Structure 1
């Protein structure tokens, strides 16, 4: 459990550091370009690669928190067996998609490892490694959830609270109501 928390904290810290480096590179490049007529040539390529890693790393962290889009209103109204079937189906579909992501990124990484980026010289396949890392992480989460679901140890998350009803609109008389059509 301690190793797991340490790994997740490391991923979060790496994402924050990558975001800070990306912002510093882009902002510094803008200041240098407009203020001094020069720039950091490597900035655009490296910040793009960092952005791809940030996107996939963020997708993993959101998947871990069950934060991706879902139709909880429908699932919460299902009987327990329907919820189980629905959740198992979703986890299997996600696992299938992660398999596609991993195999596609693996193929692209292999093809592009020999192609260096024009300015930085970093192999372009490094970008596709982010998809592999994300796919493996989310697939691991899917397998863990499937195991918990099928062994009966899945703890149902708290249902989303409904939004409060809006307050009633003030009663505007016929002369003050702009939406009211005049009587003909």
Structure 2
């Protein structure tokens, strides 16, 4: 919520300074872009933690829900593997930007790119938690016809 309010504030500040005062700030657009990057990664982790990702319903679950649990587990494995690979790739991106600062705000660029490390790390963690839940408690998918209620 803090990132969303901060982003809204930065955008409104930029619009008002540009069109009302005809003197835009040189840093507000860049700060809004960096805030949006952080917001995207944190929101992706939040959505994964709540199992509210956009999904395609492949199977309704029927009586037992074991098929839905298997599909959920497979999806969690794929997301976990990709997220862990992206964490390592993000560390490489951070290493290439060490010592660089953004031109408008002067923020060190690794501060911006650490958002991908944090975001993908949280995605991997929450996907592994979802995998554990799907394997340990497949009955949670029993009788779920609605994809939002079943998490798939």
Superposition TM-score, scaled by structure 2 size: 0.82
Distance 1:95 1:57, change over 3 A: same
Alpha-carbon distance in 2 for matches of 1:152, 1:30: 50
Structure 2: runs of 5+ lacking an equivalent: 148-152
- Which structure carries more relative contact order (alpha carbon 8 Å, separation 6+)? 2
- 1:59-70 residue pairs with structure 2 within 5 A? 59-70=44-55
For each residue in 1:67-115, what CA deviation from the matched residue of structure 2 results, as whole angstroms up to 9, or x when unmatched? 112222x221576443333222111101111012211211111211311
Q: Does 1:58 align with 2:43?
A: yes
Structure 1: runs of 5+ lacking an equivalent: 1-15, 162-184
Alpha-carbon distance in 1 for matches of 2:41, 2:2: 15
Q: In the alignment, which residue of structure 2 is the partner of 1:116?
A: 101
Alpha-carbon distance in 1 for matches of 2:96, 2:53: 31
2:112 to 119, 127, 132: 127
- 1:1-184 residue pairs with structure 2 within 5 A? 16-72=1-57, 74-77=58-61, 80-152=65-137, 155-156=140-141, 158-160=144-146
Q: What value does the CA root-mean-square deviation take over the aligned residues?
A: 2.2
Number of residues paired by the alignment? 145
Larger radius of gyration: 1
Assess if the C-alpha contact under 8 Å between 1:145 and 1:154 holds in 2.
no
The CA deviation at 1:37 is 2.2
Assess if the C-alpha contact under 8 Å between 1:148 and 1:154 holds in 2.
no
Alpha-carbon distance in 1 for matches of 2:7, 2:115: 16
Write 1 or 2 for the structure with the bigger share of helix: 2
